[in-house]
Structure 1
Amino acid sequence: MNNFDVTRRSAMKLLAAGAGVLAAPSIIRPAFAQSKVVNITTYDKFVPQSFIDQFQKDTGIEVRIRLTDDQGKQYNLLTAEGAAPSTDIVTVTGHRLSQFMKSNLLSSLDTTRLKNWGKLAAAYKGAPQLTVDGKTFGVPLLAGFEGLVRNTEYAKASDSWAIMFDDENKNLTSYIVSDFLSIVMRYQGNDGDYVTYGDKPEVAQAATNQARDFLIQHKDKVRKYYDAGSELQQMLVNEDIYLAQAWSGPAAKLIMDGHPIEISVPKEGTFGFLYSFNIVNNAPNADAAYTFLDAILSSPEIGAAMTRQSGFSSAFDGVDKVLDEKERAALSLPPEQVERIQFFSSVNRDMKNEMIDKATAEIKSA
């Protein structure tokens, strides 16, 4: 299996490509549709209802959405279902692709069946994060990063993750433990993505323990650990917290809605990721899945709708021309901050998952 490192220059292209909604253009009807339902496991706000309504009207295919808030939950469900999956399309992040593939859970895409494949933004054509041994395993959807989010009315500006541990922010911060643990490792000068730890498990464990102990030491700064983006948004809107580690999407959505929120990438850096739609191996409605994927690629208005709802940058071409100035601004970062984003790698995922999961449980129980 080949591994592709996305350079910081590539990161700039990826995040800029979709800085660019909400029309519901008629979707080109397929000549035939062998099944009349498509089952999709995805995140909240990823698939616009206007698109679903138009797709069902145009094709007669019923769209059934199952919401998830965690990659691990998707993986566990597919693994448990084995050769008889109940879903056709799942939403996978690029760095978790290898985990799903090792368990033979995903089918490679026949891109010749997607006549709108060429409507991806230039930065995503070829989809290196989704290409393994010359085969493509997903349709690029949305790109994002882990950022430092602050309420601009109450929290002071900072160019360092250190502000999350400042005594003046006691009981005023929040984060996803497993995600923030990797960032803290980077903050401490270690490899939070475990790429360099392949033959150094003892070094990896020491770095993990160092970050774990640091977060336990600073548990008094945490109001609540959160899991879903909607939960984070509610805490920020209610002013229960002033600072957080967050995915860029939920934060950008708040900015678009006019809340006094800012997201930035501190000097120590952070991690980026790419979401994709992936057809499940042995999908019960594979033909309908291809019809759905081709339709969602058909228009920049659809990509813009996804961006407006989720806050993440779209992978579709022309979206930046559909979004208004305020929306584009919510998705933009200064160039020097974009340079600080390192896209997650698929290297040593088993080691990372095992150590991060164990440390996460220990932090929560401390």
Structure 2
Amino acid sequence: MGDIKTTRRSAIKLLGASAAGLLAAPAILRSRSAFAQSNVLNITTYDKFIPADFLEKFQADTGITVNIRLTDDQGKQYNLLTAEGANPSTDIVTVVGHRFSQFIGSNLLAPLDTARIASWNSLIPAYQQADWLTTDGKTWGLPILAGFECLARNTDYVEDTGSWDVMFADANKSATSYIVSDFLSITMRYLGDDGDYVTYVDKPDVAQAATNKARDFLIQHKDKVRKYYDAGSEIQQMFINEDVYVAQGWSGPISKLIMDGHPIAISVPKEGTYGFVYTLNVVNNAPNADNAYKFIEAVAASPEVGAAMTRQSGFTSTFAGVEAILDEKERAASTLPADQVERITFFSSVNRDMKNEMVDRASAEIKAA
């Protein structure tokens, strides 16, 4: 199976193409027939991704009952599908592009038959043609939302320095927050190393040294951290409560704060950051695959759905025509200056096993220090 590669150029192309820039425990294994029902669809996705009005209309139009299981982590989805093996309890999962190789390599996803999606061309062309979306000549999901790791700050308290060094400033002692595993990669980039491990293939010693350097740096500056967080809703609440004034965050939850009128600014510092795209994916051996295709087609059929997804999640829609539907505040919240868009590189699937192992271990050591 070929590698799924993502370049800086593709990152610029993708985010520049729209909006000017921007679980439950595993079920007990059962036979596939236990989940196959003509009028049911089971989806695992993130909070705020599927608009309630759209979901209600889809169910009324099709007679299909949609069961949503929320997740907040790619690993949880992977572990669930792996545990269920050839008898999955879910039909659609929401995977980020740089994790495709892990899911595909474990035979957890089915290739997407785009001929069954009449509205496939509603995608912005850059997403239709994205190199990370195709491997072995097959397409593996419907891109729905794009985002990036951003620097978020309360504009009432923190000035824009244009650098990630604001996260380590003495003035922000006990006033910062971040997801440890995500910010470790950014810190590696900040220190001049490869936070995505693409250049560390067959170089475990070099990778470990770079990881340890970032780990030690974050431990050294642990006094700046008010609290580590795991979910977007957590950092939103910390900003609203003014528990923190500056943070690393996903662009979606931070943009949503801006849309809601909070004094928060979003930026990509000069040292750069990483981007990602969420996709809807049909599960291999999905018990209700036909219903999954009906749902995916319905999502792609109207830019109104893409606009609603952006309003709810804060992430940038992948569908053409959405920008014209969003209001000025909504567009501004998901817009970046061109020079900042150029600083975003999409996460790659190359060398993920090494990265995951080293980052997970270092993250645990940072938390325990």
* Fold agreement, TM-score > 0.5: yes
Segment of structure 1 superposing worse, 42-51 or 119-128: 119-128
Structure 2 CA distance, aligned partners of 1:34 and 1:228? 33
The reply on whether 1:147 has 2:150 as its aligned counterpart is yes
Structure 1 CA distance, aligned partners of 2:113 and 2:266? 38
Deviations, residues 265-285 of structure 1 (Å, cap 9, x unaligned): 111110000100001111111
Residues 34, 287 of structure 1: 8 Å contact kept: no
Deviations, residues 312-365 of structure 1 (Å, cap 9, x unaligned): 010111101111111111111111111110110000000000000011111111
**Equivalent residue for 2:265, pick from 224, 240, 262:** 262
1:99 alignment counterpart: 102
2:90 alignment counterpart: 87
**Equivalent residue for 2:223, pick from 220, 223, 232:** 220
Query: What's the offset of the Cα at 1:12?
Result: 2.9
Residue type at the aligned position of 1:317: A
2:62 alignment counterpart: 59
Query: What's the offset of the Cα at 1:180?
Result: 0.3
SS for the counterpart of 2:244 is coil
2:119 alignment counterpart: 116
SS for the counterpart of 1:245 is strand
Residue type at the aligned position of 2:61: D
When residues 6 and 102 of structure 1 are mapped into structure 2, their CA distance, relative to the original with a 3 A threshold, is closer
Instruction: Map 1:224-239 onto structure 2 (within 5 A).
Output: 224-239=227-242
Residue type at the aligned position of 2:315: F
Structure 1 CA distance, aligned partners of 2:324 and 2:13? 16
Structure 2 CA distance, aligned partners of 1:160 and 1:144? 19
Structure 1 CA distance, aligned partners of 2:202 and 2:43? 38
Structure 1 stretches lacking a partner, 5+ long: 21-32
Residue type at the aligned position of 1:335: A
1:2 alignment counterpart: 2
**Ranges of 4+ aligned residues in structure 1 off by more than 6 Å:** none
SS for the counterpart of 1:239 is coil
Residue type at the aligned position of 1:12: I
The reply on whether 1:15 has 2:15 as its aligned counterpart is yes
2:364 alignment counterpart: 361
1:281 alignment counterpart: 284
**Equivalent residue for 1:48, pick from 43, 51, 60:** 51
Deviations, residues 83-107 of structure 1 (Å, cap 9, x unaligned): 1111110000000110111111000
Residue type at the aligned position of 2:165: A
SS for the counterpart of 2:269 is coil
Query: What's the offset of the Cα at 1:11?
Result: 2.2
**Equivalent residue for 2:335, pick from 315, 332, 355:** 332
Residues 177, 228 of structure 2: 8 Å contact kept: yes
Deviations, residues 102-155 of structure 1 (Å, cap 9, x unaligned): 111000011111111111112111332221111001000100100100000011
1:244 alignment counterpart: 247
Structure 1 CA distance, aligned partners of 2:16 and 2:304? 17
Instruction: Map 1:182-221 onto structure 2 (within 5 A).
Output: 182-221=185-224
Structure 1 CA distance, aligned partners of 2:283 and 2:4? 22
Residues 34, 288 of structure 1: 8 Å contact kept: no
Residues 16, 332 of structure 1: 8 Å contact kept: no
Residue type at the aligned position of 1:3: D
Deviations, residues 180-214 of structure 1 (Å, cap 9, x unaligned): 00000000100000001011100000000111111
Structure 2 CA distance, aligned partners of 1:292 and 1:34? 15
Deviations, residues 7-33 of structure 1 (Å, cap 9, x unaligned): 43432332233318xxxxxxxxxxxx9
Residue type at the aligned position of 1:318: G
SS for the counterpart of 1:144 is strand
Residue type at the aligned position of 1:211: A
Structure 1 CA distance, aligned partners of 2:324 and 2:5? 29
Percent sequence identity is: 72
Deviations, residues 11-64 of structure 1 (Å, cap 9, x unaligned): 2332233318xxxxxxxxxxxx97211111111000000000000000000111
**Equivalent residue for 2:178, pick from 175, 185, 209:** 175
1:293 alignment counterpart: 296
Residue type at the aligned position of 1:206: A
2:23 alignment counterpart: none
Query: What's the offset of the Cα at 1:3?
Result: 3.4
Structure 2 CA distance, aligned partners of 1:258 and 1:272? 25
1:133 alignment counterpart: 136
Residues 16, 313 of structure 1: 8 Å contact kept: no
Residues 38, 288 of structure 1: 8 Å contact kept: yes
Structure 1 CA distance, aligned partners of 2:76 and 2:2? 26
Structure 1 CA distance, aligned partners of 2:286 and 2:318? 24
CA RMSD of aligned residues (A): 1.3
Residues 17, 314 of structure 1: 8 Å contact kept: no
Segment of structure 1 superposing worse, 126-135 or 148-157: 126-135
